[in-house]
Amino acid sequence: MIESLRLLHDRITGAAPPPELLKEMTRAFEDLAVELGLYAVSEREQITGHRIDLPGRGQALVPVFTVDESDDEHVRGSVRFGRYYLGGNGAAHGGAIPLVFDEMLGRLANAGGRPISRTAYLRVDYRSITPLDRDLRAEAWFDREEGRKRFLRGAIFDGETRCAEAEGLFVALNPGQP
Ligand SMILES: CCCCCCCCCC(=O)SCCNC(=O)CCNC(=O)[C@H](O)C(C)(C)COP(=O)(O)OP(=O)(O)OC[C@H]1O[C@@H](n2cnc3c(N)ncnc32)[C@H](O)[C@@H]1OP(=O)(O)O
């Protein structure tokens, strides 16, 4: 279902249907929303975001980061920004790119049985445009750890071109901290 939703996001963003079809589709979306509302659950019980066996954890917010290889210190894979993430002139939106870094760095920060941490800051440098509809290489790695503080870095490449890079600080949560 989430795969279909991602496709729908891309198609909606890239389409200009006639008004009659727009009305028809709007009604169909509203009907679906009402039907799903009957099955509302708490955060703990929801499926999206919790399916770590699925690319993108089964949630539609973040562009899917597909892992090719990983250990407790590094992760390498690919990411593809669909039309939904368009900023302008064929480039990904500058707000969509940090979503991917937060996901990649955040998952690595909490990998290897380390206690859960949260992003304290995420700095992103945009080195070149990040093109849509291409498989981009994405990497993240542990830089250093100082007590509860974990510093991680990441980068996204289009071939040999460095599109964007990031540095994040993740702070391990104290017991009882939300
Ligand atoms: C399978 C699931 C995979 C999930 C992957 C996705 C991961 C997504 C992760 C997220 O997006 S989490 C959501 C976004 N982040 C937040 O909502 C965090 C909100 N902020 C907080 O909860 C707290 O500010 C935080 C836990 C980050 C730190 O607060 P604490 O009270 O625990 O720590 P404290 O303020 O005592 O700081 C601890 C150390 O970190 C340092 N620090 C904290 N925030 C900092 C900051 N922003 N910049 C620089 N240093 C910072 C602080 O100076 C100190 O350094 P020292 O120990 O050297 O003195």
Domain count, the chain: 1
Write down the pTM of the prediction: 0.95
CA–CA separation, 149 vs 78, rounded Å?
A: 27
Report if residue 162 sits inside a domain: yes
Can you read off the two tokens belonging to residue 115?
């206690």
Give residue ranges with CB within 6 A of ligand 1.
52, 102-103, 106-107, 118-121, 147-149, 169, 171, 173-174, 177
CA–CA separation, 100 vs 94, rounded Å?
A: 11
Residue 148 belongs to domain with CATH number:
3.10.129.10
Report if residue 141 sits inside a domain: yes
pLDDT of residue 35: 98
This complex has an ipTM of: 0.93
CA–CA separation, 159 vs 133, rounded Å?
A: 14
Alpha-carbon Rg for the chain in angstroms: 18
Domain that holds residue 106: 62-172
Cβ contact 155:77 at 8 Å: no
Is the predicted pLDDT of residue 52 greater than 90, yes or no? Answer: no
Q: State which H helix or E strand residue 8 sits in.
A: helix 2-13
Q: What is the pLDDT of residues 84-119, one digit of tens each?
A: 999 999 999 999 999 999 999 999 999 999 999 999
